Amino acid sequence: MYLLLKHLHLTTIALSLSLFILRFYWVLKGSAMMQKKWVKVVPHIVDTVLLASAIGLTIVIAQYPFVHAWLTEKVMAVLLYILMGMVALKLGRTLFIRWIGFIGALCWLAFAAKVALFKQPLLFS
């Protein structure tokens, strides 16, 4: 079960990141693709599967946020990734702010990946 959940989690991370980058590109170009129904629906489906696989993994490995510091940091980094992603795709009023949101989102995602890979908290010990 662990390997299935892990591979599902990693696959949905890759899909979610790819969709984020693609949507940011479309936002920059002012593309009509951003108005397509599938562009509005598919990322939510992918992110729901991503969240479900994350919850499944925490149960299988019996490590939980607010109990294990590394997982708490990962959850916080993911929440900041989501916030910065919202700035990049919707909330940023200027191109500069959108770029800050995009780069910030990628940095927080990289931080979450590093914490998850080594299972060592970097900010809170």
Whole-model pTM: value is: 0.92
CA–CA gap between residue 117 and residue 70 (Å, rounded): 10
Instruction: Report the percentage of the chain scoring pLDDT > 70.
Output: 99
Query: Within its chain, how far is the Cα of 68 from the centroid?
Result: 20
Residue 35 phi, psi dihedral angles, 5° rounding: -95, -5
Alpha-carbon distance of 34 to 23, in angstroms, equals 7
Question: Cα dihedral sign for 118, 82, 100, 41?
Answer: positive
What DSSP element (H or E) covers 31?
none
Residues 70-89: tens digit of each pLDDT: 999 999 999 999 999 999 99
Percent of the chain with pLDDT over 90: 96
- How big is the chain, counted in residues? 125
What would the pLDDT profile of 83-110 be if each residue is shown by its tens digit? 999 999 999 999 999 999 999 999 999 9
